[in-house]
Structure 1
Amino acid sequence: MTAVDALDLTIPAGSFFALLGPSGCGKTTTLRMVAGLEDPTAGAILIGDRDVTQLRPYQRPVNTVFQSYALFPHLDIFENVAFGLRRRGIKDVKKQVEDMLELVELSPMARRKPGQLSGGQQQRVAVARALINQPDVLLLDEPLGALDLKLRRQMQIELKRIQTEVGITFVHVTHDQEEAMTMADTVAVMNQGRIEQMGSPADIYENPRTAFVANFLGQSNLFPGSVVGRESDSILVSSHGTTFRIPTSRVATSGDSVVVGVRPEKVTIRATERAGSPDAARNMLTGVVTDASFTGLSTQYLVRTAWGQELQVFSQNLSADDVVRLGEDVVVSWDPSHTFGLDGAEDLNAGVDKELLELGHIAGSDGTTASVGG
């Protein structure tokens, strides 16, 4: 079985780079090849202008931080951080260790043992121990996976701060979309050993080029259609008897079979009786609310269309007058500039969490779905 297939990747020096993808997509194998823990069957690995493909792990200018941290429990924090320097025969380590502990904001903890620290503090010790060796590249393999949600979010900010201060290239492997989006300058979305799309977090979120990226990085409403017209800067796509306008710059295919896509938070929802006159400038659908979940900042709706597919709508809670009730007839609409178009041959469920598929709220390949909530 091929773990990584035809991977051609250039990571800018000094950047925070994230390899994002589901379990088994090849991201950790890629990281291990850079670290020298796996041997590629073909190709080369260069760090700067230096070919390190045949070098052993300890000969490469890289250090790795694993999810387990792998701290020495019998050594205090100072000695854990100093370990790499002492192994290289450096005797005067005090200033370097103190500077590194200050960077990760753990100076007062220097003489404590790892077991006396929280998970987030242990993670920062592991980063300090790796950075003190001044690697050209720091590899992070799911380093926040063992932390609870609140601490994980705090550490996302901390890691980005540390990376910005030291200016070393960070390569971060994760399956967590929020983690990648929060920290990385560049994100590469991997699927089945290949990179599906690479770019800034904002670019790949706003302009997904495949259904896998659209579904895995956030959530999307996708439905199939056919091109029925072209304008100077847009195409017109008919889907289930309704025509949608898509900017040409946001269409990832030149064919006439197109998947229409829009993010749930881009869509507005109004009860039909309060919707007013249709706005011809907007893409628009009618449907029935089958589920409504209040989350505080927003209400998340499921709207069943005339053809049976359920669309997701995330509506910010601005006014009690905007609340739409379960079973109510609604109009959903969005600015055409927020629409994207994918190749019509795409699997609409690519990248969708299997649990969501089993719940029955996700479109099938024919654009229909069964609902369990309505």
Structure 2
Amino acid sequence: MSQAAEKDPATPALAKDGAGGVRSRANGEFDGLRLSGLTKSFATFTAVDDLDLDVPRGSFFALLGPSGCGKTTTLRMVAGLETPTSGSIVLAGKDITRSKPYQRPVNTVFQSYALFPHLDIFENVAFGLRRRKQKNVDAQVKEMLDLVELGSQARKKPAQLSGGQQQRVALARALINKPEVLLLDEPLGALDLKLRRNMQIELKRIQTEVGLTFIHVTHDQEEAMTMADTVAVMNKGIIEQMGAPAELYENPQSTFVANFLGQSNLVEGRITGRSGDVVNLDMHGVPVSVPADRAHTDSERGWIGIRPEKVLIGAPGEELDAPGNTVPGGVVTDVSFVGVSTQYLVKMPWGQELQVFQQNTGRAQMFRVGDDVELSWRPEYAFLLDPSQDAHAGAEQVGADG
């Protein structure tokens, strides 16, 4: 799809909230991070391709994408660890494109915490302040350790702390320098699932309290959507789509975004008519409709998309609470009980298997492999994507770090 910012980068941005808008100084100068035409080419490929991006000051912003998409390279250029091939990086009105890393008002927290093992937690956090010979070091460190809820651990060594506690020490050490931007490079990747989820909540709480700009690079969709005000989904060096997490999930504009953010059923359909705010389609002989503002193609065909949790499943003839798009003739081919939901695969008359996630409320009928079923969904939950795009894009991503 298009780049995130199809605009004249010299045009001052208007003030908006932190959920995808931009803010500017009183004189009209953008006070956040602005990337304009940012490109990084290596010998055999282009990692970041003519990237335009505005990150509002004080927002929690996520760069989300698979390995090799360019997100880490983008972050390293902002940090000064990679030199752009072309383009500019402007932070708080100052061009830092060619500035040395230590000259930039940014700090980075990596997946490897890089704590000093011979220093206790207090001195790890105090290190930068003492190096710059600042005053009131003890008071500042105490305040920062209280913020990350480690005040009682101040005199322990890093090896005595859990992974989550070490991550919070690394965060405190970066935040105490009061950077314009805090860069988070897969910071939770080394933690186990339960601890990672707890740290997601903690990171968002801390960002809200300190009010600094956080730019979080991750390949974990849940991580990005849990914490960020705005998510930019990257693929092959460009931004496929950018917006609030719910907007990207509910109304993806490309097959890559539809598949990479969660899971989607994508079924080929032919447009039979457009009426006001509705697009009508023929889906293998079944009439269905999609809201016009969720139709992202000018073609007469397209991929009809519906999220598995939006699909209802019932016995043939059963009345389902989803009038408008009812698809008969399904046969259950797989059943997976995953606790909060039961996940079905249902083979449709045209041979395609659709996914259905049914909440385990105890009120719905459970089906078994071989059962005949009908599927249904509300038209307002569906979306329509360009037929020229790969229906499997984003579903399985492998590659080098990036």
> What's the counterpart of residue 387 of structure 2?
344
> What's the counterpart of residue 377 of structure 2?
334
Unaligned runs of 5+ in 2: 1-44
> Per-residue deviation at 1:285?
4.0
Partner residue of 1:238 out of 253, 278, 282: 282
> Per-residue deviation at 1:297?
1.3
Matched positions, count: 354
- Specify the code of the residue in structure 2 equivalent to 1:81: V
> Per-residue deviation at 1:173?
0.3
Q: Are positions 1:206 and 2:272 aligned together?
A: no
Q: Are positions 1:44 and 2:92 aligned together?
A: no
**Are 1:139 and 1:170, in contact at CA under 8 Å, matched by a contact in 2?**
yes
Q: In 2, Cα distance between the equivalents of 1:278 and 1:120?
A: 44
> Per-residue deviation at 1:283?
4.1
Unaligned runs of 5+ in 1: 356-374
> What's the counterpart of residue 306 of structure 2?
262
- Specify the code of the residue in structure 2 equivalent to 1:210: S
Q: Which deviates the most, 135-144 or 277-286?
A: 277-286
> What's the counterpart of residue 104 of structure 2?
60
> Per-residue deviation at 1:284?
2.7
**Are 1:205 and 1:218, in contact at CA under 8 Å, matched by a contact in 2?**
yes
> What SS class does the counterpart of residue 86 from structure 1 fall into?
helix
Q: Are positions 1:116 and 2:116 aligned together?
A: no
> Per-residue deviation at 1:239?
2.3
> Per-residue deviation at 1:281?
2.5
> What SS class does the counterpart of residue 154 from structure 1 fall into?
helix
CA deviations 1:233-281 (Å, max 9, x no partner) are: 1111112222210110101112212110000000000021x51499762
Q: In 2, Cα distance between the equivalents of 1:276 and 1:197?
A: 37
Partner residue of 1:324 out of 367, 376, 382: 367
Q: Are positions 1:5 and 2:49 aligned together?
A: yes
> What SS class does the counterpart of residue 5 from structure 1 fall into?
strand
**Are 2:323 and 2:376, in contact at CA under 8 Å, matched by a contact in 1?**
no
> Per-residue deviation at 1:163?
0.1
Q: Are positions 1:302 and 2:342 aligned together?
A: no
Q: In 2, Cα distance between the equivalents of 1:277 and 1:41?
A: 56
Where do residues 62-101 of structure 1 align in structure 2 (5 Å cutoff)?
62-101=106-145
> What SS class does the counterpart of residue 301 from structure 1 fall into?
strand
Q: Are positions 1:284 and 2:327 aligned together?
A: yes
> Per-residue deviation at 1:228?
1.0
CA deviations 1:192-214 (Å, max 9, x no partner) are: 00100000000000000000000
Provide closer, same or farther for how the CA distance between residues 36 and 321 of structure 1 changes in structure 2, counting only shifts above 3 A. closer
> What SS class does the counterpart of residue 165 from structure 2 fall into?
helix
> What's the counterpart of residue 132 of structure 1?
176
Q: Which deviates the most, 343-352 or 234-243?
A: 234-243
**Are 2:312 and 2:322, in contact at CA under 8 Å, matched by a contact in 1?**
no
Provide closer, same or farther for how the CA distance between residues 60 and 279 of structure 1 changes in structure 2, counting only shifts above 3 A. closer
**Are 1:257 and 1:345, in contact at CA under 8 Å, matched by a contact in 2?**
no
**Are 1:271 and 1:331, in contact at CA under 8 Å, matched by a contact in 2?**
yes
TM-score by length of 1: 0.92
Partner residue of 1:154 out of 198, 213, 216: 198
Q: In 2, Cα distance between the equivalents of 1:338 and 1:309?
A: 20
Q: In 2, Cα distance between the equivalents of 1:32 and 1:275?
A: 55
* Structure in which a larger fraction of residues adopt helix: 1
> What SS class does the counterpart of residue 4 from structure 1 fall into?
strand
Where do residues 345-364 of structure 1 align in structure 2 (5 Å cutoff)?
345-353=388-396
> What SS class does the counterpart of residue 94 from structure 1 fall into?
helix
Provide closer, same or farther for how the CA distance between residues 354 and 162 of structure 1 changes in structure 2, counting only shifts above 3 A. closer
Equivalent pairs: percent with the same residue? 66
**Are 1:245 and 1:283, in contact at CA under 8 Å, matched by a contact in 2?**
no
